[in-house]
Structure 1
Amino acid sequence: MLGSLSAFGALTIDMYLPAMPSMAGELGTSGSLVQLTLTVFVVGLAVGQVIVGPLSDAWGRRRPLLIGTALYVGGSLWCALAPTVEWLIGGRVLQALGAAAGTVLARAIVRDLFEGVAMTRFFSTLMLVNGVAPIIAPVIGGQLLAFTTWRVVFGVLAATGALILMAAAWALPESLPTERRRPADFRTVVASFAGLIADVHYLRHVIAAALMFAAVFAYISGSSFVLQDGYGLSAQQFSLVFAANGVGIVVLGQLNGFLVGRVAGEAVLLRVGLTIATVGAAGVLTCGAADLPLPLLEISLFVMTSMFGLVMTNATSLALSAHASAAGAASSLQGLLQFLIGAIAASAMTLTGPATATAMGATMLMCTAGALTLMGRRPMANETAGPVFEAGALLMPLVHLDKNSSSAK
């Protein structure tokens, strides 16, 4: 169940990727506006997590999850019926706000129930389901396009969301007991986020995860145009290439679950994954700049994307390890930075026109190299997050104020 919820974002993004070129023609709009539907979804997913996470720390996980999943179903139906690209963008916003609940609360529920290496291994297990989504979603989308239109893709997403909603209502119990809940008032929420921002250990792992996600998101948002328009693949061929890269994510995620605690710790595995991802990204850039054959490009893409399963699992576990009392807020801030940085990277990649292999490779390399640089240096024992984040430290006393005391008044 948690794997299905955590896969909402990937499923909703990847299933309609093969249809993006044909959507532009049917809706009478440009490829850039169709790509905007992807960026809007990611931004909405980020904003929605910031709302849902703190609410779940106060209300529990179950109620926000059911409300968000119902909203997702409604947004998917809106997209299926959209007459113009503007209406489609509106539906994607609604869909994203709903999907945010599953994305952020799956991580929070894991943190409610597990700690240490057990938490990392469970995140690796989630990566099995989360990685299957990018394998099957574009294949399903590509096969649907062989005999129907892109609108049916969104209908399938609505039906999938409805099934997950019914299963969650029936089978998913509450994981956050009442005695561990926190108030959802403005003071407490601001103090929670301020404490997270002031925590250099949390922040560096979250940013490393966000940069890795941005590298993969550059591939997600640009690959359909690069491989179909640039290399002449059909929608069905593209979906198979995309699925092959998803297999790498699943395999490395499961391998991480076996290695962690037996061969190496989370921090070592994280740095190894980022190093290999950087090599793969450099290969993509080289293939694009030198106009190398498609098989070499596909190998480089496989190397880079497969490290997602290794990097995200360990970075997420390390980031959430010290924040059991505010797992919803910690998970939501991670999601916010992850998807906002991903959206910025995808938008920057297309500033000069449609995505190319060179632009995609350059974006990937900047993101993976930046994450590797961030994780390559161990912080000093008393190091703070720096002047940019000092506001977080200044607001920390709010956590300890008693709202009924005279000082708080």
Structure 2
Amino acid sequence: MMIFGLAPAIAPIVGGWILRLGSWESIFWFLSGYGTLLVIAVWVFLPETHPTHLRTPFTARALMAELVQVSRSGRFHRMAWSGILIFAAWFIYVGGAAIVVFDLFHKGSNDFWILFVPLIGGVVLGAWASRRTAGKIPDPTLISAGVVIALIGAVINVAVAHLGLPWVVLAPAVCSFGASLAYPSVQIALFDMFPRARGAAASGFTFGQLLVNSAVAVALVPLVDASSTTMAMACLMITLAAVSLWVWTLRADLSGS
């Protein structure tokens, strides 16, 4: 969850701090040093834990066979795209953070916290609530609760978008809370569909998430960044698409299709 929420949220804040200490080139020096340290840390502290006899052979044929198996599942696609879109709905504010903070909020490079503290607060609280309720509430119920909360937040977001701060950042935080509440259960459900191909399921889901988040930041944000209201409407439309896919998943499960 953190790769999609915390990292993109912290990055502009850290970038603002670095710009206060040096030129824009210093950001790239920081990234080079950080990347080097990360490679060393992963190499030293993260050994492979998956048992050897359970690993998929590292061949193109074996890997592609599992990916094809996952990609042919309609239930996987319905549930995966629901989880991807419920997250992408509020990620529009992360992808368009510079425009939101500079152009819509009329703030400076050190004010990204105004947007990200509520957003990531929602992510953290949602993840905490998901962990506390795991095993006590069935996964479909927990996912439904998260989807409904995200939808309520998206509707409120449209209603209060014209009011400015602080309302314009609180409603998206409700969306991020709902998405974070549902997200872990969506992941577990997807992985459980393919007990012997969990890696392929994880790869497919993660690839879709990264692809959609990139499309939101690069293609969608420039189309809806005219005002807080247009941003909120885009958030609502994506949320409605996620809700539709989740309802489709529930109906298909009930009918056994």
Q: Same fold (TM over 0.5)?
A: yes
Q: 1:331 aligns with which of 202, 213, 222?
A: 202
Q: Distance in 2 between matches of 1:201 and 1:308?
A: 19
Q: Distance in 1 between matches of 2:20 and 2:147?
A: 37
Q: Distance in 1 between matches of 2:157 and 2:23?
A: 32
**Within the alignment, does 1:151 sit opposite 2:22 as a pair?**
no
Tell me which residue corresponds to 1:283.
Answer: 156
**Within the alignment, does 1:265 sit opposite 2:138 as a pair?**
yes
Alpha-carbon contact 2:146-2:177 (below 8 Å) kept: no
Runs of at least 5 residues in structure 1 that lack an aligned partner in the other structure:
1-5, 15-133, 384-409
CA shift for structure 1 position 267: 1.4
Tell me which residue corresponds to 2:98.
Answer: 224
Alpha-carbon contact 2:118-2:170 (below 8 Å) kept: no
Q: Distance in 1 between matches of 2:116 and 2:130?
A: 22
Q: Distance in 2 between matches of 1:260 and 1:195?
A: 28
Q: Distance in 2 between matches of 1:328 and 1:148?
A: 42
Q: Distance in 2 between matches of 1:283 and 1:143?
A: 33
**Within the alignment, does 1:245 sit opposite 2:119 as a pair?**
yes
Alpha-carbon contact 1:230-1:356 (below 8 Å) kept: yes
Alpha-carbon contact 1:212-1:308 (below 8 Å) kept: yes
Tell me which residue corresponds to 1:100.
Answer: none
CA shift for structure 1 position 297: 0.8
CA shift for structure 1 position 250: 1.0
Tell me which residue corresponds to 1:164.
Answer: 38
Q: Distance in 1 between matches of 2:201 and 2:62?
A: 13
**Within the alignment, does 1:298 sit opposite 2:169 as a pair?**
yes
Instruction: Determine helix, strand or coil for the equivalent of 1:224.
Output: helix
Alpha-carbon contact 2:85-2:241 (below 8 Å) kept: yes
| Equivalent residues in 2 for 1:195-234, closer than 5 Å | 195-234=69-108
Alpha-carbon contact 1:277-1:304 (below 8 Å) kept: yes
CA shift for structure 1 position 272: 1.0
Instruction: Determine helix, strand or coil for the equivalent of 1:311.
Output: helix
Partner AA of 1:197 in structure 2: S
Runs of at least 5 residues in structure 2 that lack an aligned partner in the other structure:
none
| Equivalent residues in 2 for 1:46-57, closer than 5 Å | none
Partner AA of 2:106 in structure 1: G
Tell me which residue corresponds to 2:220.
Answer: 348
Q: Distance in 2 between matches of 1:246 and 1:223?
A: 13
Instruction: Determine helix, strand or coil for the equivalent of 1:350.
Output: helix
CA shift for structure 1 position 10: 5.0
Q: Distance in 2 between matches of 1:7 and 1:164?
A: 16
CA shift for structure 1 position 334: 0.5
Partner AA of 2:171 in structure 1: S
Q: How large is the RMSD of aligned CA atoms in angstroms?
A: 2.4
Alpha-carbon contact 1:284-1:357 (below 8 Å) kept: no
Partner AA of 2:37 in structure 1: L
Q: Distance in 1 between matches of 2:129 and 2:3?
A: 23
Q: Distance in 2 between matches of 1:198 and 1:244?
A: 38
CA shift for structure 1 position 207: 0.9
Q: Distance in 2 between matches of 1:311 and 1:355?
A: 30
- Going from structure 1 to structure 2, the CA distance change for 1:10 and 1:271 (only over 3 Å counts) comes to closer
CA shift for structure 1 position 220: 0.9
Tell me which residue corresponds to 1:378.
Answer: 251
Aligned length: 253
CA shift for structure 1 position 7: 4.3
Moved over 4 A (4+): 6-12
Q: Which has the greater radius of gyration?
A: 1
CA shift for structure 1 position 9: 5.7
The superposition leaves residues 279-313 of structure 1 with CA deviations (integer Å, 9 ceiling, x where unpaired) of 2222333334xx22222112112111222321221
Instruction: Determine helix, strand or coil for the equivalent of 1:160.
Output: helix
Q: Distance in 1 between matches of 2:39 and 2:3?
A: 12
Instruction: Determine helix, strand or coil for the equivalent of 1:366.
Output: helix
Alpha-carbon contact 1:222-1:355 (below 8 Å) kept: no
Q: Distance in 2 between matches of 1:327 and 1:271?
A: 23
The superposition leaves residues 211-251 of structure 1 with CA deviations (integer Å, 9 ceiling, x where unpaired) of 02321321111232123212211221223431332122112
Partner AA of 1:351 in structure 2: L
The superposition leaves residues 129-167 of structure 1 with CA deviations (integer Å, 9 ceiling, x where unpaired) of xxxxx3x44432222223323433333333333223222
Q: Distance in 2 between matches of 1:9 and 1:163?
A: 21
Partner AA of 2:28 in structure 1: F
The superposition leaves residues 161-199 of structure 1 with CA deviations (integer Å, 9 ceiling, x where unpaired) of 322322222222212233222234444333322221232
Alpha-carbon contact 1:222-1:360 (below 8 Å) kept: no
Tell me which residue corresponds to 1:50.
Answer: none
Q: Distance in 1 between matches of 2:35 and 2:3?
A: 8
